[in-house]
């Protein structure tokens, strides 16, 4: 998912001020960059209102975010556009485990519990266990190199298991639409980009307003 912040909403204001091109260019560059930082903060908040992720997972707007939610382009004179991108890779379901996080064990009577939604309660995942991943072997969460695994029994399919996430199941990074018995599968939740798709629509209006307000403020400051 990509969100582009431009000066389209400023067209009428810029037209009235066309006699001051240098000041306008400086003001719009500053306004768009302030807008994209505001958009990153708003997007991070919106994502975390839907999905159970800590703020640090998405980074800070002041530093441009991180690879999960990143400002990939800032505006500059002659190119008044800024861009935010959300990572498209699915998030390891291990990221959402709550309570005990013992690796490599399936403890009878104490199944793994997962809380993906920011609201509601955690879900129990019978038969699943946490395991440490080997670098490069799986589609994991970068430094969060732990996965949530499940092994199918003969005649059992992933789609009929209650604990399965609805965003895709992966066997060592490969999407398997027809899981096979006896194979071990790593489970994943939504990608940042998937949630960002919804959040971007909600923040579009406030971001545009922020850019317009900032443009006027910067123009007045620069034109004194």
Tens-place pLDDT, residues 93-150: 888 988 877 776 665 557 888 899 998 888 888 778 888 776 544 444 554 577 888 8
Locate the domains of the chain by residue range.
Answer: 2-89+193-222, 91-191
Residue 164 pLDDT grade (very low, low, confident, very high; cuts 50, 70, 90)? very low
What's the pTM value of the predicted model, to 2 decimals? Answer: 0.77
pLDDT of 90? 84
List Cβ neighbours of 81 (8 Å cut-off, separation of 6 or more): 4, 5, 6, 32, 73, 75
Query: Given a cut of 60, is residue 44 above it in pLDDT?
Result: yes
Query: Given a cut of 50, is residue 175 above it in pLDDT?
Result: no
pLDDT of 206? 94
Query: CA distances (Å), 183 to each of 25, 151, 157, 203, 217, in order?
Result: 59, 6, 11, 42, 60
Q: Which of 79, 66, 68, 83 is nearest to 28 (CA)?
A: 79
pLDDT of 72? 96
């Amino acid at each position: 998912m990509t969100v582009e912040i431009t000066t389209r909403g400023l067209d009428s204001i810029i037209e009235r001020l066309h006699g001051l091109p240098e000041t306008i260019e400086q003001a719009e560059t500053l306004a768009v960059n302030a807008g994209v930082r505001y958009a990153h903060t708003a997007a991070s908040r919106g994502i975390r209102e839907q999905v159970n992720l800590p703020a640090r997972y998405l980074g800070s707007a002041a530093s441009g975010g991180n690879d999960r939610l990143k400002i990939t382009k800032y505006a500059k004179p002659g190119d008044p556009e800024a861009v935010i991108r959300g990572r498209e890779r699915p998030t390891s379901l291990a990221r959402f485990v709550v309570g005990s996080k013992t690796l490599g064990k399936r403890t009878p009577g104490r199944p793994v519990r997962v809380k993906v939604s920011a609201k509601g309660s955690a879900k129990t995942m019978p038969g699943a266990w946490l395991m440490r991943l080997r670098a490069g072997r799986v589609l994991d969460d970068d430094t969060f190199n732990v996965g949530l695994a499940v092994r199918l029994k003969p005649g059992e399919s992933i789609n009929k298991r209650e604990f399965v996430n609805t965003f895709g199941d992966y066997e060592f990074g490969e999407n398997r639409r027809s899981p096979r018995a006896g194979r071990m599968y790593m489970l994943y939740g939504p990608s940042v980009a998937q949630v960002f798709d919804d959040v971007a629509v909600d923040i579009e209006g406030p971001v545009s307003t922020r850019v317009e307000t900032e443009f006027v403020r910067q123009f007045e400051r620069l034109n004194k």
